[in-house]
A and B are shown apart, each in its own frame.
Chain A
């Protein structure tokens, strides 16, 4: 009887651990432009030492411009119900305060949410600092623990929640790091940094000093950009990408890049020998969510292969930086990449396949996929392919005949002599 109870208790505990595993321990929202005019003025993100930091921990609505960051040690089902409640409230035009208070109805859950014009708020189970920066530069940092904490609409500021996950080797650092980072956020907002840059600084500091380092990811609410699955785990019950580690190496000249761990083997660009630049995960996060004046949006049609799209994007960006918005230059750079084997499975492009809009900094590349799983476009030779086929067959046949002759050489010679 006793054994049975212990067994049941064990299963119950295991179940609890499995269900509560998606516990984001860093949630942060930074507002440097509460109106939403600045494309980088409203950002947020989630990170943890725990496993299963999927995109459900940093939800972004591109259409209605809000974000919902979740976490807490409660079970998965109430957490999802709280998320759905919050989404419904925000979609119907509710404020962040109303949506965050939905979390208080569910035990152990935390919802942090916000959007331009709605302010930001955190509700449920949390240890947070609310940073408010007035227009005259005074910074007010207030600690809150549980219940509801609000950054009112129209105010510049931030909310940061940070706790340590059990098992983190840096357990116990959360409260001091939370305070330091909150003060740093206040100073950075006062000094005029955009929200997206501040969020990447927060990720860097928290990953290094508090060890809550696995992505997760971040969102730029004002522009509707998310890091998506850049840093999230690939499988269930795994951790995401450590945000304080190198993420990729990039050639500043031609745009060639390689992700870690492959990048460890490269010091210079294999194509033109330029020394490579190391990009850390927090830099990659900043670049991914920051919309800059010089950013070029590249759309790729005709191929869904992730590698082709990424590589094309880098090549177009590097070409535009060097030669401006020239269709010929972009087409030439892409064809070089196809020749080098960087882009496979598509045919050569012509300048008419490149659609350039310098006014809106947009480039569209239209590929034609190659038939029957070919990797490279057909070679351009002076003689037809039928000629080579016949020539090849004749040569192969001659070679085989020679081999047979060689085998029966002595027999044949003696039969001739007879």
Chain B
């Protein structure tokens, strides 16, 4: 042996190690068993209505980009996302703007001419109503 260590030193080291590990584990258990109330109403889902040719996934992804996505929650009149907190009204108007930019995948066609976003502050469900119109769509 290069380093001379007494047996009781090793024993105490072991006890200290076990104590720290089990202590950390207990802290984790306390976190895992805590039923902390969520801070606000979490966004639970996006319902899309009125779309015909534009796929639901495209619209949903765009609305999620405006902040209405998994992990965001509503606290009073504020929408708290993983990136920042913005007033709910602003988030809704952003979502309406973004929904109108939804394309048919693989093209630059944006046939959605109007979008209406409603947020239920109690359940966290976001309802998006869109209107498609192909007679005015621009081809660039």
Interface residues of A (CB under 8 A from B): 22, 52-57, 59-64, 76-77, 80-81, 83-84, 87-88, 91, 226, 228-229, 232, 301-305, 345, 367-369, 371-373, 376, 378-381, 384-389, 391-400, 402-403, 405-406, 409
Min C-beta distance of A394 to chain B, whole Å: 7
Among residues of A, the one whose C-beta sits closest to the C-beta of B140 is A77
Min C-beta distance of A253 to chain B, whole Å: 30
Q: What residues on B are CB-neighbors of A393 within 8 Å?
A: 23, 27
A379-B26 CB under 8 A given contacts A22-B106, A304-B60, A396-B19? no
Separation of A22 and B106 alpha carbons in the complex (Å): 9
A392-B17 CB under 8 A given contacts A60-B53, A406-B12? no
Beyond A304-B45, A384-B33, A392-B28, 10 additional contacts (C-beta under 8 Å) are A80-B107, A84-B137, A229-B105, A302-B45, A385-B30, A389-B30, A392-B24, A392-B27, A399-B15, A402-B19
A388-B104 CB under 8 A given contacts A396-B19, A402-B15, A409-B9? no
B53 and A391 within 8 A (CB): no
By secondary structure, the B interface counts as: mixed
Min C-beta distance of A215 to chain B, whole Å: 12
A373 and B16 within 8 A (CB): no
Interface residues on B, range: 35 or more
A388-B30 CB under 8 A given contacts A84-B134, A305-B70, A396-B23? yes
Separation of A372 and B38 alpha carbons in the complex (Å): 7
What 0/1 readout, one digit per residue, does chain B (123-139) give for beta carbons within 8 Å of chain A?
00100000000110101
- The 10 A-B pairs at the shortest CB distance, nearest first, are namely A54-B106, A392-B26, A395-B23, A396-B23, A399-B19, A371-B38, A399-B20, A388-B30, A392-B27, A402-B16
Partner of A395, one of B19, B44, B60, B108: B19
Interface residues of B (CB under 8 A from A): 9, 12-13, 15-20, 22-39, 42, 44-46, 52-53, 55, 57, 60, 64, 69-71, 73, 104-109, 125, 134-135, 137, 139-140
Separation of A371 and B125 alpha carbons in the complex (Å): 16
Separation of A391 and B28 alpha carbons in the complex (Å): 11
A301 and B53 within 8 A (CB): no
A396-B24 CB under 8 A given contacts A80-B109, A302-B45, A385-B33? yes
Q: What residues on A are CB-neighbors of B73 within 8 Å?
A: 371
A378 and B35 within 8 A (CB): yes
Q: What residues on B are CB-neighbors of A394 within 8 Å?
A: 23
A392 and B30 within 8 A (CB): yes
Q: What residues on B are CB-neighbors of A56 within 8 Å?
A: 104-107, 109
A59-B44 CB under 8 A given contacts A84-B137, A385-B30, A391-B26? no
Separation of A80 and B35 alpha carbons in the complex (Å): 53
Min C-beta distance of B60 to chain A, whole Å: 7
A88-B134 CB under 8 A given contacts A61-B52, A392-B27, A399-B17? yes
Separation of A60 and B64 alpha carbons in the complex (Å): 24
